[in-house]
Every structure is written in C-alpha cells, then in structure tokens.
Structure 1
Amino acid sequence: MMIRPFRALGASRRSPAPEDIGEDDALGGVRALQLVDAFEEQGSGWFWQTDREGRITYLSRKVAERVSARNGAAGAALTSLFQIDSDSPETERTLGFHLSSRTSFKEYSVRAVDGDADRWWSISGRPLIDANGNFQGFVGWGSDLTAKRRSEAEITRLALFDGLTGLANRQRMNLALDQTLAQIGIGYRTAALLLLDLDRFKAVNDTLGHQTGDALLKQVAQRLTRAVGDAGLVGRQGGDEFKVIVPSEADRAKLAVLADAIITALSQPYFIAGSSISIGCSIGIAVAPEDGQDSDTIVRSADLALYAAKGSGRGVHRFFREEMLDDARSRKQLEDDLRHALVADQFHLVYQPLVSTRDESIVGYETLLRWQHPERGAISPADFVPIAEECGMIEAIGSWVLRRACSDAACWPETVRVAVNVSPIQFANPALPAIVASALANSGIAPERLELEITESVFVTDGASTDAMFASLKGLGVRLSLDDFGTGYSSLGYLRRAPFDKIKIDRSFVCGAAVPGNRNAAIIRAIVTLAETLGMETTAEGVETQDEIAVIRDLGCTSIQGWVYGKAVSQADVLAQSAGGRVAAAPVGHRVSRAARSKVLRWAMLEVGGSSGEVRIRNLSPNGVMIDGIEFPAGATGMAVRLDLGDGRRVEGIVRWAEGSRAGVEFAHPVALDSHAARSAAGRARAG
C-alpha cells in the first residue's frame, strides 16, 4: 500500500541534482528510509503524503491495510479514507478545509471511513512547498489513539458506572436527572423518580458476610434492570439504595404497576453459595414537575415518600404527598426539641411490675421512659425513640435512663430487681460495660439486681464483637434478658450463643392464650420447656386479662408483666407499694379474655320480624356486634334478628341486651372479622 519514493519529513524545499549527491549522501538516504520503515513497523507512528489534489501518494502500510480493506490506498483522496471525530474538542475545521486552504493542522482525531471503525488515530499535516514556492501537496504523520481512547472510555465508565453492579452510579444518575428535568423546563414533558431501598439487606450483609452481600447486590441489579426494561434508567446510589429515572411518565397508575413489579421481582428468593436468601424492597415515588422542578426538590420528595413506605411496614411503594413534607418538618422540630429535652429535665421514668406466678409478689420492675413536652404534652416513646436513634441521641438518653433507674432501685427492697432496655445502638458501643459499671457504682445496688433487656436485633452485628460484649456484661455480674422472644429470625441460635438469664415471651403469643382453640398456649409451653432446659427464667409480656394469669401459671412461666396488674407507676408509687416490706400485686384487668373487637362506625340493615331499618355498627367481633340507631321495645332480649353487614351477606343473630337505642347482638355462627375490618375505613368515610 506504499508509494515510493517517500520524501523524508522535514526534507529541504530545494531538491538536489543527481550530480550533487555523493556516496555518503546516498548511504544516508538509504539509512533514513530504513529507520522510517523500522519506525513504521515497530512503533505506533506512521506517515502519509498527498499530491496537489489531495490524493494519497504515500501511506504507511499498517494504516493503509486498516483504512481500505477493499480498495488500495494509492490514488484515493485523503478525505475518503478518514473521517474526523466531530465531538473532539481539538477539531476546529474539516480535513477538506485544510487541504483546500493549504493550511496546517495538528492532532486531529480520525477513524476509517471504510475499514476498522473501532480504531482511532491522531493525524497532523502541513503543506509541502518546493524550492520554487509551488504547492506540491501535503505531508503528514500520525499515531495510534486506540489504546488511549479505550483507556479514556474505561476511565469514563468507571466515573459514571457502578463498579460492582455495572449500573449507572450516583454521578451519572445525577447528570441524567438534571438533563431530564432541564427538558421538562423547556416543554410540557414530565418525569418520575423512584428511590428504592432493600429491606433486611443489612442483616444479610452482616450475618453472611460482605462477599455474599455483594453477590446479592449483583443479582438485585440484574432483576431490577429486567423489571424496568426500556421504561427508564436504573442506577445504584450506593449501599443497598437504587434509583430509577422514568422520563415522560406521570401516570401514577402506570408508575404504581412498575413499582409493584419491581417489588415482586426483588422479593423473590435468591440462591447464593448454597443459601436461600429473602429480602424485600420499599419504593418512594415523586413526579416532576408536580413534586419538584429541580434535582434537590424531586430527590427530597422521593426520599420522603420512601420514608413513608418504610413506615408503612416495608415491601410497599408510596407516592409523595405534600403532607409528608409537613411530617418531615414536624420530625425535625421534634428532633430539635429532643436535643433540648434531656438538659431541660423533661424526661421521667415509670415502672411496670414483673409479678411472680408463684405467690404474686413483685420481683422486679421494667423501666419505661416518658417525655412530657412543655407544649405538646406527653409524647409516646413510639414517636420519639426512633427519632432519637436516627439523630444519635439514643446513647445519651439510654445512659441517663440507666443511671436514674439504678439510683431509683437503690431505694427499693433488695429482693426487687430493675430491668432496663438496651437499644442495639447502645449494645454496639464498646463503652457500654463501663457505663453500666459506673451506674452500679454510683447507685450502690448489687449487680445481680440490674437486668439488661436486649432484643434479637443486636445479633445482626459481627458475631465476635457481640460475644465479647456479652462476656463483658456478664463479667460485671448483671443479668441478661432476651426481649420480645419469637419475633426475630433465628431465636434458637441466639439462645445457643448468648448467656441469657431470662426469656421474655412476646405479647403476640400471650394474647388470646386463654381463648379455647388458640394455639398460643402450645407455643408458650414449648418456650417454657426450652428455657427450663437451658436454666433460664421466663416472663410473659402483655398479659391483660385475669383468666390469662392462670393459663400462664399453669404453663410454667416464672413471672408475668402486663396491664392485668395495672399500668406503669412512678417512683413515688413504687416506694409506697414497698413500704410494708413484701411487695405484692393484685390483678385489676378484665376477668375474661374476649375475642378481638374492631372499632367501626358504619351503617347496616337490621331486620326484625317483618320490618327492617338502618342501624349503625359500633363494635364488631367474630361472635357479635353492638348496634344503635333504633329504639328497641321492652323485652327485646332474646329476639331473633338478621343483619346485612354491608358485604351482601346476611347474618342471623339474637339480641342479648338492649338499652334505649343500643343493643348487643350475638351471631348464630361466628363471622370472619378480617373481611369486615378491612372495610371499616370505607365505612368510617361514609359515616363522616
């Protein structure tokens, strides 16, 4: 593909006459050509030359073979072999412009018009003028840019794509969101942003290791990409958070379908290294421009929607609503108030008794934190404890609770223990044993009188550090109690690992244990047997009715905690109870367990004899209902009635009592409460 002779670059403009060329000059010329050939064959550089019309008169063989596989390079126009990269910033003019204007150019990025399109070169050239000042064509040189281009492409890929999953990374997603929103600003287009957070991923990552966690994220990325398809751009924000940008879509019904498809896809079991892993997904959705016209606003809106989805039990999607912003502001205000509450002495403690099933003596009290806000009044721990955990206040509050509880217990009988809850965040703090030791020393109570209640969530952290923490706490002589037993993922494994002194049986197993046919009693018996085998005590939580006391006692539980023995009381009340020495408790709750009731307010049709009328349903249970709205005659007790409960089914019943416009009806056959309770919201809306 070469045309000879090749005039060496930089040769004199005046061509020497043959008689002027000596033997040394001839040898030098041959040597120069040899060096050029070696350079062309071994290096990345190459040369080219054209005539006055811009047709190739010389082109290094290795380049000629790549740019013109079918036609020879000789005689071809330079512009027919190479095309300039128009996106290259250094490209100001076309090759044709420089050839026609006879001007130099330098380091233009080009590739083959017909040939190896994946290869790039840098090309430079200048006009060739003879000794008489006549234009003879162009002479130039070039170098291979392919390796550089590939390296730059890889750098770009690493800068814009997530290295683990291959999805767009945070930077690229931010750029894409900015571009999408900019298009909305100049037209009437829309877009949606979906923020995703994996549920239970942290537990997988911590218990099975980061290698398994990384493999899980790769599979999540693949499923997410398939679920979204061509509908939008999928990216990873970092950790277990993902983002989907859906351009030109504002139909909430379609977005809901997409979100549900994603949740379903990501919630199917994963199989990694022989293990079956189940996680979930929560999604927050914001639609532009309705929920925001710039990146910061639309991301904030989607994040608030995601927060709401997590608060709704996870595994669901939620669209942004304006009241979510109000809730966020309220949480922020509550957080600010919470930081002030501790120093302003707005917290106080109350104590709920733990009663022995053997003789109904109070063997201990569980410490419960209360916050009396100066303006809002009493604020539930369910509202402020999660905020304290999120804003980093829980450790300071927890330390205060521990010190105050130990100080209060120092005034109790020495046979009465004090139980204090320890959050997973506190448990993960290496300083916890020192904080406990300080509280014991300052109060002077015996270590065995302090019982630390720990939930199963502490076990999601590294096993070695967890075991070390348990060993340190037991070394202080305090008691350890496993709280809410049965609500986690692998409770038996925890019992094998941790040195607990007590198991607290969650109230979900206690509730209804005295109702005939309920299986909770069998579950409690199994837990008690397990605890006795391991040398542990048991406390039944959430006992509310007196008939449950006998059941819990017969099942072998060591102690009982719940409203059946009254609500939590202040330190002054505890001292009053223990003034006589032995602290005894008397049950004050309902005597008999009742089937669950659903508080509703909706209309139904009542048939009595041959007449019918509209009544209101107030309380609904599987066995009966309380109604009002009509005057019942004297002697209505025992009267047969028929009720249409609103779902098309008619239920037979008997009036068991009647007072004025109210009456209680017992169903002839139990009804499914769930189907009616699910409609109660709609009923309340109609009644309102």
Structure 2
Amino acid sequence: MVRKLKTIAGLGWSRGPSSAQETEGSAANLAIALAQSEAAILWSTDADGRIASIHAPALAALGVQLADVSGKRITSVFEDAPSDSAISQQRSLSLKLSARAKITNHIVRCVNKNEEGAGVWLQLSGFPHYLGDQFVGYLGHAADVTHLIVDHQTKMLQEKFDEVTNFYNAAHFGKRFDAAFKSLAHAERPCALVVMEIDRFQHACERYGIGHMDCVLAEMGNRLRSALRHRGEVGRIATEQFRIFMPDVDDRGDLAEFAEHAGKLLSQPYRVHGRRIQLSVSIGIAMAPYDAVTTTELVDAANLALRSTKQSGGGSYSIFSAELAEEASRLVRIEQELEGAMERGEFALRYAPLISAGSNEVCALRAEVCWNSPELGEVLPDIFWPMIESSGASGDFGEWMLRQACEDASAWPGNLSLAISPPRGFLKDPDFRKIILAAASDASFDRARIELEISEEFLSADAEMAKRLGDDLDAVGVRLVASDFGVGNSAIALLADFSFKRVEISPRFVRDWVLQPERTNAILGAIVSIARSFGVPASIREVDALDVLDAVIASGIEVVHGGVFSAPLDQAQIVDEGSVVLQTFRPRGFARQRAERMTVLRKIGLVHDDHYYEVLLKNISRTGAKIAGIAGVPVGTEVVLDLGNGQLAVASVVNTDEKSQGVRFEVPLVSDGNGGLMTRHRISPYTLAEAGLPVASLSGDHEALRAWKDAKKGKPSFVQLQLTHL
C-alpha cells in the first residue's frame, strides 16, 4: 500500500531542498490521484494535521461530505476509542500526529454517523511525508472494521453483562467486587453489600411464563437503577438474586432508607402485554469492616441477613447484626418445634374486640393465634406466623383456624361478627369454598357473620385469583375485609372491583404517628375519604394510646381495636355470664403515644466522665431507653450508652429515681428491618486497629473493644448498683 500511495501521489521521497511550487504541485497531484483511485480508503493531511483529501468513494460509507471535512483537523473527524475499552490504544492519535510518528493499525471511530445512523470504525495506518527536509503532512490508508469491532463489543458485553437486565453477570461482578473491596480495605474505607432476592420468583415464572418474567426483570432493572442513583454497582448473581456493592457507606440509616425505598419501588405492579404482575423483594445488608473484613465474610453476613428477612415473611429488609447468627439458630429450633405443633394441640385462639368508635361497644371479635410450646414457652406471632405462611401446611392450618373460630363464635351473642385472617396457603386451596361451607355448617354458625381479612398486597398481586376469591366469598355469603390497607398503590382499584365490609388500615400508620403526627393524620384522612366515597367504613388496629385514639377517630375511622380498649380475650371470658363483650368499653392506657418500645433486659455499658458503668437495659425505642443499675444521676446528665458491637449512643437523662433512669437519644436509632434497633454509626475497626491490634469485625469479644472499656477507669460520679438485685 505504501508503494501504491507513492505511485498514486507521484511524489518522490528525497529529503533534499524543494520549492513551494513543488510542494503545492505534489499536494494537488495527491488529491487528484486519491480522488480517482478505486482503493478502499486513502487519506492525507497537511502539515497542521488538517485533512487534505479522503478517497471520495469512501465518503458515503463514513456519512460525510468532502466539503464538510476538508480543512478540518483529522482528530475532529476521527476519535480514539474510549480509554476504558478493550480496543483503546496506548498512545492517542493526536499524540502520534504531533510526534510525527508512524501510525500502524490505529483504531478510530468516525464522529459522523453513517446512513443507518450507526458509528463507523476504521483501522488507520499512515506515515509522515517530507519534501526534502520539510514535513508536509501524512499519507495513509484505512480499512472499515466496523463489523469486527461490533462483533468484539457484543462478545465482550456477553462476557460481562446479563442480557436481560444489563447488569454485570455473576462472574464479572465477582471480579469487580473482589478488586474494589481490596482497594477500599487498603485505603481503610468502608463499604456495604446489599443482597436482593425476588420472593416466590419460580412460582411467578410458572404462572406467567419466562417471556413475561424477562420483561418484568428488565423493568425491575430500570427501577433499581433509579433507586440506586449511581451509588453502587449491581450484578445479577442468580435467576432471582441481585447483589449491590456500595463503596464509602457507613451510615446504616441511609442503607435502611435505600432498602425501604428500593423495596417499595420494585414491588409496584408491572404491566406486561396487558397482564398485571406484582412481586416483592427480600433484602439483606452487611457492611465492611464492621461486619466482615473479607469478601467471603461480607457475602456470608449479607446472606444471613437476607435469610432472616425471608424467615420473617419476606418483602422487607434486614441489616446484619451480631445477634443475627444467634437468632438464626433460635429460628431453626422454632421451625423444628413448629412441625407437629398443631397435631399436639399447642395452638389456641384468642379474640381481640373490635370497638365501634361511635358507641364504644363491641361489634366484632378478631381471631388471633397463640402458641404455647412446652419446649419454648409462649412464642410471639410475629415470629411463628411467617413460618406458617411459608410452610406447606398453611392450608391445613387455615382450615383449623376457621373451624375452631366458627365453633367458638357459635356461642357468642348473635350481634357479634367473627373477623379472621387465615394464612395465604389456605386462600389458594382449590377447596376453599367447600371448607368455609363445611366449617360454618358443622358449627351451626351464620356465614354472614364471618369477615375474612385478606391483605391489600395479596389481592392486588394476582387479579385473577383475587376475582376468584371474591366470587367464592360472595357465593357463600362471607364478607370480605381488605387488611393492611393504604400502603400500596391499589387502594382505589380494589375499592372499585370488590364489595368490602370494611377496610382495615395498616397499623404502620399508628407506629408512624409518634414520629410524624401531622403527616400521618393527613394520610389517614385521605384513605378514609377514599373508602367512604365507595361506601366502605375504615378500621385500624394496634391503637394503644389515648392521643392516637383521638386522632384516628377525628380522621373518620369507625372501628378501632388495640390495647387502648382491651387485650385479646379467651373464649371463656367471652361466653361467661356477664361477659365483658356485652359491656361498653371505656378507653384507657397511655395518655400519649410513645415510640414503639421493646423489652430487652440485657446488660450494656454506660460512660460518664471517663468512667464505665454496667447497667441493665430494660426497654428501648428509637428515641430513648429505660436503664437501671446506677443511682444518684440527676436529670439533664449527658451519658454515652454502649449498646455493644461498637454501637455508642449519646443520650441525656430525662427522668430518674433511686435505681433507674429514662434517657433520650441525641440521634434517634434506626430499624434493622428485622424488629430490632441500631445506631446509625459504629466505631470503625480501622480506628480500633490504631491501638496495634489486627483489623477484625465488631463482636462482643472484640479485643480492642475490651481494651477501650477497661481504659474507662476515671473517678465515678454515680453509685454502681448490683444488677442481680434489680
């Protein structure tokens, strides 16, 4: 080709002196020769790097006109491949031109698009041309390698990316995760790993088909990108699982907010070819170096948090804590004891009175399951109910609930309805209608008094199944109640499609009321207004304080139940002569709603004036705690609570007596997504390692944490009490 260029241009290669006329003539001859040549792509520049000529037949393929590029710098017409691509050159085209170096097989992209609107890739070769000792420009040739580059890029994409979601595939994400983790650890910077799994994905694939679910996954990927906002990298690790690596994150509150926002966003309905598909996601989160100091440990910790979420029923998130491993072992034991518990007669029903807000009289009783295990004692429904929901025996359990409740309710006063919320497996039983008919008939109980509670999320997840359920209930005369109402986006559609006896607003709004009363009041009022426009009354549960009761009644809610009126009742309390259910209930309880508190009873530390005390944590909420174990503490004293595993909470004493104190946190705690509370930040293991100890994840026996506690030996200001006497 070099020889051909010489021939076409008619130029000699002497480095001797040459006149201006000779140079101009040579350039003219070159332009004419190139224009007449049938060669693929031939090009030349002047001494300043401006295009002197391009072989005319090739211009159309490049999507340019000669007049558009003539006189322009070649680097403005052809650009280098991106520096992070596999085809980028070590030295740029501009650098080679300025150095007057030989150009060999340099890959460039034409800035203009071709007629099909696609980019054209060329492989340029060329050499500097001299007339005598004077540099006059470049002569070169090029080949169109677009198809080779496109094939290469496609192959590279397939090797790195998942074709459905365009996230990294498992292999490439693993490489990037390992490299990024090592880099951050070397720089002593934190990071987080979020593991996200689609609940009941295989069931959805069987129901809707792989094609529909691929469309859902593609849209789910777009939503996840929107929620993430470039704060991390995502990999699709398995059919239904994603991992998100987030660098420079050490605020668990931010992670909780992200998980909650992403969970809500991904759980909104998907429209695919006219079908409405709704899914939920479970999320597990762990952080390095707090929870792990290697990639393997971090993955294990995040997976343990994910498993905790799924064991709690899914559709939520859990943030790893040191207690999760212990909790996981405990849950395994509970699952083992749960098997056969129904046959052993360990379950019983209690009934929570539903109170008419206008008269304070009982209008219905809601069945609630209690489990008193000989081995475990009383197990809370929040723990065992998700296990029942996910077990293969949920249908049988639902039938037992309905039969037992109908038998009990047949002895109640005739004006009381029976509200019952069976597990989902029972609702999916093909003999659902027959079981209801048999249960009511065997107990001689009027089916019209049964109020079957089904969650808004369940009704909106599968329109066909929901319609079938509604038709079955109408056919047997059972009334339908939408529970956990108002947290999704399907409220109006459900009210239009179903005939509800009432809607039970999600108790989440009761829990939110203490933190955002004005906002919660507005939401409650809006939900009640929408329901009333369809002629449906609203109810709410878990109301325990008088100020919340006043607020929900003011919003228009007509039926209330919770501790403010009565705890759940045994059957004997209901049917005894002079039964409480025949009385008018007078509200009682706390005057003001407090942040949800958990009774814990465990030892923690308290630091004041550089002295470390041991105290007993009696209960805790987002905003404060009750402690015991020191005396002589005045109101207003600032202290630091050591909640364990590097969690330090600054607090001030707001009330005190001889043995205990109530404290308010300077910064509210955040939810771990699994029923617990945690501080937003922790002591960094990198900071602890400055004491000369190896970097290790935080745990109760962390050597540096023990050394930190032992160093707090300042003069005590308060009296340390013996915790065994409290």
Q: What is the TM-score of this pair, normalised by structure 1?
A: 0.53
- Tell whether 2:595 aligns with 1:596: yes
Give % identity: 22
Letter of the 1:555 counterpart: S
C-alpha separation between the residues in 2 aligned to 1:511 and 1:281?
22
1:338 CA displacement: 2.4
- Equivalent residue runs for 1:55-454 within 5 Å: 197-199=196-198, 211=211, 213-218=213-218, 237-238=238-239, 240-241=240-241, 282=283, 304=304, 306-308=306-308, 310=310, 330-454=330-454
C-alpha separation between the residues in 2 aligned to 1:534 and 1:219?
33
C-alpha separation between the residues in 1 aligned to 2:341 and 2:360?
37
Q: In the superposition, relative to structure 1, how do residues 434 and 286 fare at CA in structure 2: closer, same or farther (>3 Å)?
A: farther
C-alpha separation between the residues in 2 aligned to 1:236 and 1:167?
10
Structure 2: segments with no counterpart, 5+ residues: 1-157, 176-192, 642-647, 672-676, 684-699, 710-719
Equivalent position SS for 1:422: coil
1:331 CA displacement: 4.2
Equivalent position SS for 1:526: helix
* Corresponding residue number in structure 2 for 1:183: none
- Conserved in 2, the CA contact under 8 Å of 1:615 and 1:630? no
Letter of the 2:518 counterpart: N
C-alpha separation between the residues in 2 aligned to 1:454 and 1:276?
18
Q: In the superposition, relative to structure 1, how do residues 498 and 325 fare at CA in structure 2: closer, same or farther (>3 Å)?
A: same
- Tell whether 2:514 aligns with 1:520: no
Letter of the 1:373 counterpart: S
C-alpha separation between the residues in 1 aligned to 2:596 and 2:243?
42
Q: In the superposition, relative to structure 1, how do residues 603 and 204 fare at CA in structure 2: closer, same or farther (>3 Å)?
A: same
- Conserved in 1, the CA contact under 8 Å of 2:284 and 2:309? yes
1:378 CA displacement: 1.3
C-alpha separation between the residues in 1 aligned to 2:385 and 2:318?
24
What do residues 395-422 of structure 1 show as CA deviations (whole Å, max 9, x unaligned)?
1111100000001000001101111103
1:565 CA displacement: 1.8
Equivalent position SS for 2:474: helix
Q: In the superposition, relative to structure 1, how do residues 372 and 393 fare at CA in structure 2: closer, same or farther (>3 Å)?
A: same
Equivalent position SS for 2:500: coil
1:301 CA displacement: 9.4
Equivalent position SS for 1:441: helix
Letter of the 2:367 counterpart: T
* Corresponding residue number in structure 1 for 2:149: none
What do residues 12-39 of structure 1 show as CA deviations (whole Å, max 9, x unaligned)?
xxxxxxxxxxxxxxxxxxxxxxxxxxxx
Equivalent position SS for 1:440: helix
Comparing 553-562 with 567-576, greater Cα deviation is found at 553-562
Q: In the superposition, relative to structure 1, how do residues 604 and 588 fare at CA in structure 2: closer, same or farther (>3 Å)?
A: farther
Q: In the superposition, relative to structure 1, how do residues 237 and 460 fare at CA in structure 2: closer, same or farther (>3 Å)?
A: farther
1:624 CA displacement: 9.0
1:590 CA displacement: 1.7
C-alpha separation between the residues in 2 aligned to 1:379 and 1:469?
31
Q: In the superposition, relative to structure 1, how do residues 211 and 412 fare at CA in structure 2: closer, same or farther (>3 Å)?
A: same
C-alpha separation between the residues in 2 aligned to 1:549 and 1:219?
42
* Corresponding residue number in structure 2 for 1:97: none
1:557 CA displacement: 2.3
- Conserved in 2, the CA contact under 8 Å of 1:284 and 1:320? no
- Conserved in 1, the CA contact under 8 Å of 2:456 and 2:482? yes
Q: What is the TM-score of this pair, normalised by structure 2?
A: 0.51
Q: In the superposition, relative to structure 1, how do residues 430 and 373 fare at CA in structure 2: closer, same or farther (>3 Å)?
A: same
1:316 CA displacement: 6.6
What do residues 427-463 of structure 1 show as CA deviations (whole Å, max 9, x unaligned)?
2223211111111111111111111011122235431
What do residues 521-564 of structure 1 show as CA deviations (whole Å, max 9, x unaligned)?
33323322222221222222111123444444443322210011
**Alignment RMSD (CA, Å):** 6.2
* Corresponding residue number in structure 2 for 1:631: 632
Q: In the superposition, relative to structure 1, how do residues 316 and 374 fare at CA in structure 2: closer, same or farther (>3 Å)?
A: closer
Q: In the superposition, relative to structure 1, how do residues 529 and 243 fare at CA in structure 2: closer, same or farther (>3 Å)?
A: closer
Q: In the superposition, relative to structure 1, how do residues 461 and 618 fare at CA in structure 2: closer, same or farther (>3 Å)?
A: closer
- Tell whether 2:578 aligns with 1:584: no
Q: In the superposition, relative to structure 1, how do residues 196 and 527 fare at CA in structure 2: closer, same or farther (>3 Å)?
A: closer
- Conserved in 2, the CA contact under 8 Å of 1:267 and 1:279? no
What do residues 626-649 of structure 1 show as CA deviations (whole Å, max 9, x unaligned)?
7874437xxx9xxxx653354999
What do residues 169-217 of structure 1 show as CA deviations (whole Å, max 9, x unaligned)?
99x99xx99xxxxxxxxxxxxxxxx995434695996999864531343
What do residues 81-122 of structure 1 show as CA deviations (whole Å, max 9, x unaligned)?
xxxxxxxxxxxxxxxxxxxxxxxxxxxxxxxxxxxxxxxxxx
1:283 CA displacement: 5.6
Equivalent position SS for 2:469: helix
* Corresponding residue number in structure 2 for 1:644: 638
C-alpha separation between the residues in 2 aligned to 1:445 and 1:371?
25
Equivalent position SS for 2:576: helix
C-alpha separation between the residues in 2 aligned to 1:223 and 1:360?
46
Comparing 492-501 with 405-414, greater Cα deviation is found at 492-501
Letter of the 1:584 counterpart: Q
Equivalent position SS for 1:349: strand
C-alpha separation between the residues in 2 aligned to 1:165 and 1:596?
41
C-alpha separation between the residues in 1 aligned to 2:454 and 2:649?
48
- Conserved in 1, the CA contact under 8 Å of 2:573 and 2:579? no
1:493 CA displacement: 2.1
Q: In the superposition, relative to structure 1, how do residues 340 and 681 fare at CA in structure 2: closer, same or farther (>3 Å)?
A: farther
User: Which of structures 1 and 2 has the bigger CA Rg?
Assistant: 1
C-alpha separation between the residues in 1 aligned to 2:462 and 2:523?
30
Q: In the superposition, relative to structure 1, how do residues 624 and 577 fare at CA in structure 2: closer, same or farther (>3 Å)?
A: farther
C-alpha separation between the residues in 2 aligned to 1:681 and 1:445?
56
C-alpha separation between the residues in 1 aligned to 2:591 and 2:660?
23
Letter of the 1:603 counterpart: L
- Conserved in 2, the CA contact under 8 Å of 1:483 and 1:504? yes
What do residues 601-642 of structure 1 show as CA deviations (whole Å, max 9, x unaligned)?
653659xxxxx999989888999987874437xxx9xxxx65
* Corresponding residue number in structure 2 for 1:457: 457
Letter of the 1:370 counterpart: C
Letter of the 2:378 counterpart: A
Equivalent position SS for 1:518: helix
* Corresponding residue number in structure 2 for 1:480: 480
Equivalent position SS for 2:564: helix
- Tell whether 2:561 aligns with 1:561: yes
Equivalent position SS for 1:307: helix
Higher relative contact order structure (alpha carbons within 8 Å, sequence separation ≥ 6): 2
Q: In the superposition, relative to structure 1, how do residues 412 and 167 fare at CA in structure 2: closer, same or farther (>3 Å)?
A: same
Letter of the 2:588 counterpart: G
- Conserved in 2, the CA contact under 8 Å of 1:514 and 1:551? no
Q: In the superposition, relative to structure 1, how do residues 461 and 425 fare at CA in structure 2: closer, same or farther (>3 Å)?
A: farther
C-alpha separation between the residues in 2 aligned to 1:514 and 1:303?
33
Comparing 571-580 with 498-507, greater Cα deviation is found at 571-580
- Conserved in 2, the CA contact under 8 Å of 1:510 and 1:524? no
- Equivalent residue runs for 1:649-664 within 5 Å: 659-660=657-658
* Corresponding residue number in structure 2 for 1:100: none
C-alpha separation between the residues in 2 aligned to 1:497 and 1:327?
42
Q: In the superposition, relative to structure 1, how do residues 347 and 533 fare at CA in structure 2: closer, same or farther (>3 Å)?
A: same
